[in-house]
């Protein structure tokens, strides 16, 4: 698991608003609410802040052929919220009130797309949380950014199967591959090289999941061609 720590002071002394920037400085985007309503405006995502964010192996599964993991969190300082500035008003939404949203990152001119998904942290009740979609396919790749006072920010990665089961990414590429069928085309030179790595970086995960999804789409396409012959 790759953790990126960056200390960003969110509140200055005497600041009274629950968000650090004026609404006019937020990102342009769209929100699809849980009730299906779509609203455009300026968006600001307030990250969750927790005391700990640790990947733990779940020993209860009893399945030695697959790596089973969960995320353990310590005391929560701040719950994540999405702020929307629309028609001169600011509204705040929890993850369970939102289906998805996206905004344009003006710094690098790239759209960031988020989905609200159900997830259960270790020793906590099930709930909905915001996940940033990095790669969409038969196995989709997601990222969550959380605050970890006093260190700053930490990034953790997750993937979801076609059954919409959200699973934390293990620490190593080798253990990530344990969730992928052995008969897929993932065993390319790139993947064989990645199997030797012990640390996960975002670019490596993106390359691996794109390759895996492309291989599945290619296999399905070939099966359809054979059926039509």
Instruction: Provide the b/e sequence for 184-198 (b: ≥16 CB within 10 Å).
Output: bebeeeebeebeeee
Q: Considering the chain, what percentage of its residues have pLDDT values greater than 70?
A: 72
Better pLDDT: 51 or 200: 51
Q: Which of 181, 182, 184, 179 is nearest to 169 (CA)?
A: 179
- Residue 180 CB neighbours (<10 A): 19
- Note the pLDDT of residue 117: 93
pLDDT at 81: 93
Q: Is the pLDDT of residue 113 over 90?
A: yes
Q: Is the pLDDT of residue 7 over 70?
A: no
pLDDT tens digits, 93-108: 999 999 999 998 777 7
Residue with the bigger pLDDT between 74 and 44: it is 44
Mean pLDDT of the chain: 76
Residue 189 pLDDT: 45
pLDDT for the residue numbered 33: 97
Cα 35 to the center of its chain, rounded Å: 22
**Taking the C-alpha atoms of 72, 60, 213 and 155 in order, what is their torsion angle to the nearest 10 degrees?**
10
**123-138: pLDDT as tens digits:** 788 899 999 999 998 8
pLDDT band per the 50, 70, 90 thresholds, residue 19: low
**pLDDT tens digits, residue range 23-51?**
888 999 999 999 999 999 999 999 998 88
Q: What is the pLDDT of residue 59?
A: 57
Least confident of 62-71, 126-135, 205-214: 62-71
More confident residue, 162 or 48: 48
Mean pLDDT of 60-70: 61
């Amino acid at each position: 698991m790759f953790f990126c720590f960056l200390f960003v002071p969110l509140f200055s002394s005497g600041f009274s608003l629950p968000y650090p920037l004026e609404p006019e400085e937020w990102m342009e985007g769209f929100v699809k609410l849980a009730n299906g309503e779509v609203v455009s405006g300026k968006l600001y995502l307030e990250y969750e802040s927790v005391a700990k964010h640790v990947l733990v192996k779940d020993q209860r599964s009893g399945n030695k052929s697959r790596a089973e993991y969960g995320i353990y969190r310590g005391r929560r300082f701040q719950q994540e919220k999405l702020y929307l500035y629309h028609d001169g008003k600011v509204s705040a939404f929890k993850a369970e009130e939102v289906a998805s949203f996206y905004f344009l990152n003006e710094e690098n001119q790239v759209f960031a797309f988020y989905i609200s998904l159900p997830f259960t942290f270790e020793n906590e009740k099930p709930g909905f949380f915001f996940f940033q979609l990095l790669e969409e396919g038969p196995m989709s790749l997601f990222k969550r950014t959380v605050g970890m006072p006093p260190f700053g920010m930490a990034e953790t990665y997750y993937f979801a199967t076609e059954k919409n089961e959200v699973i934390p990414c293990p620490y190593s590429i080798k253990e990530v591959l344990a969730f992928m069928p052995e008969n897929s085309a993932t065993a390319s030179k790139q993947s064989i090289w990645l199997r030797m790595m012990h640390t996960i970086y975002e670019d490596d995960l993106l390359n691996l999941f794109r390759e895996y999804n492309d291989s599945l789409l290619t296999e399905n396409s070939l099966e359809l061609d054979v059926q039509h012959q």
